[in-house]
Chain A
Amino acid sequence: MNQTLRDAFARQMDDAGRLDVDAQALIDRGETRLRHRRLAAVLGAAAAVVLVIAAIVGVTDSHLLGRGDGPVDRPPVPTPNSTRQIVYSDYDAHGPDDRPGTIHFGDRVVAISSGFIHMDVTDDAVVYATGGYLDDGRVWFTDGGRPEQIGSNACAAPHGYGDTVVTGNAGALVAWFDCTREHVAELVVYDTGSGREVVRRQVAGCGSSNQCNPGAIIGDRVYFDRGLSFDLATGRVAADRSYAQDIRNNPRGLVIGDSWQTGRPTDAIGQPFWVDGSRLVPVDKLWASEPVPAAAFDTLTQRPVRLHLPRGYQADHDELGRGDFWLFEWLDDDTVALVGWDDAPGYGDILTCRLSNGRCELAVPGHGPGRVVANSDLPG
């Protein structure tokens, strides 16, 4: 027994104070969830009946089930501009600690010394950081060929978080914080198209222990936590006030909530979807005490997004919360990639889904533990 640690934890627990729990409120909440699930099952069955009838009379489902005022015109199919490859890494989860693995970049496979990596993707390449167990934080680039080191010490690598290196949903830029210099963290932005750093600068308030993590690249801005963003055009760091509008102006984003106008804009990376019958339902407010199913609207067309599992795909969603997917990559303006969540029966399954018609396909079957995808934290 280490008394120092035990005392430290005991002190932290004392700092918690007291929590008064209303058991009846929890019961009411639980009953509401149980009723919602029953209702969803009933509605799902009813919708299926309507769809069958619609198919028989040759009417499209968008006319019967579409939202909004008045007739819903067939949404325009976006013209894909930049198309990305599905990116994932498979490694031996039961093997040695360095876990040799392979990066899959579309149809190209790259052998790497450790598949246990933080990774993200640009239009040209995969960028990844070796961290986690290796804890070295080096940043690498591969376009399907031999990996090349492009950075030395990504700050967030030892923590195992998926925002060690981040890219935009389109384009060639990737960002990370470099902790090579003691007590200093420098924001680095690298262009995988030209193969060079375009930004390297210290950000006030981001020291090696006051760590900053890049969050997203939207348009010309690098957003990072602590409520800040870096404007690539002006070279300035400012308080983050533009994120919501930047998302709405970007073709690769979602608005989660009751409506396009009132919902929460997001680049959708990490957006969870619950399995509900044959549907994939977006979930909102996971960090609140009551995560709820919600609607989603894509930023390109402002239309509702309604995704359906592949025909014949078996997925469960039980009271233990298993069976959901999360969005990890935009492949083009109309196509997203989702991966099955930890402990879910479809763990590691990669689906590709078209927003315009809601159809999903099983692109890459999972094989249990031993897979990370772009933007994911390291397992465990």
Chain B
Amino acid sequence: MAIRRQEDVAAFSEFVSARSQALYRMAYVVIGDHQLAQDLVQEALTKAYVAWPRLRDRTKVEGYVRRTIVTTAISWRRRRSFHEPPVEHVPDTNASDDPAAVATDDAVWAHLRGLPVRQRAALFLRYHEDLSEVQTALLMGCSVGTVKRQVFIALGKLRDGAGPHAGLPTDEGEGVAR
């Protein structure tokens, strides 16, 4: 016999059907690996099921799962075994060799994938999800100052790698919600 009530089971199934694809895409951006993203989503949804009685409001479920994805991805990196297969790294490039060649979506995308999990998550939440610094901090489980720092460092790395003509923000507050 299930421990959760039937109406909770049905509501959970409906949520999974409606939102799992979007959550998986987000997980993939954060963790950068298909299999790990799949594991992340499944883990976050399982935790949501276990916590369901506290999360009856649909908006709370979404936020809870998204937060679990981000914080679990960060904690997996923290606890990782260094015997995992090497992560594909961005090859050395010299941004000054050919500014036009590197100032492309390909370059930005490649360097984005090379960022650590926290920095990539902070950029994604600020620049794709359009969350404010406070909303981003809540979702990442950290302070606003930490969000600012992660975005600052990440944008610096992207500018260094992709070159000055890549169309990246020149200011950490440019083009995002405050």
Contacts and interface: CB of A to CB of B under 8 A. Distances in A.
A325 interface: no
B137 to A, nearest CB: 8
Given A21-B20, A223-B82, 14 more contacts: A2-B169, A3-B167, A9-B123, A9-B124, A12-B112, A23-B12, A29-B46, A161-B77, A266-B81, A270-B79, A272-B79, A321-B47, A326-B79, A380-B149
Contacts of B147: 380
A23 B128 contact: no
B101 to A, nearest CB: 16
Contacts of A23: 12-13, 16-17
A9 B112 contact: yes
A319 B47 contact: yes
Nearest to A24: B13
A21 B16 contact: yes
B169 A27 contact: no
B100 interface: no
Interface residues of B, number: 79
Contacts of A140: none
Contact of B42 (A12, A26, A207): A26
Interface in B36-59: 36-39, 41-43, 45-47, 49-51, 54
Contacts of A132: 149
B84 interface: yes
A6 B175 CA distance: 11
B28 A13 contact: yes
Interface residues of A, number: 77
A335 B128 CA distance: 47
Contacts of A33: 46, 50
A183 B93 CA distance: 9
Interface string A112-137: 00000000000000000000110100
A57 interface: no
A133 B142 contact: no
A152 to B, nearest CB: 19
Nearest to B162: A4
Nearest to A215: B82
Contact of A286 (B41, B76, B174): B76
Contacts of B41: 19, 21
Interface string B2-45: 11100001001100110011001110110000101111011101
B153 A135 contact: yes
Interface stretch (A81-89, A171-179, A224-232, A309-317): A224-232
B114 interface: yes
Contacts of A287: 36, 39, 76, 79-81, 84
Contacts of B153: 135, 158
Pick from B21, B45, B83, B84 the residue with the most CB of A within 10 Å: B83
Nearest to B143: A380
A162 interface: yes
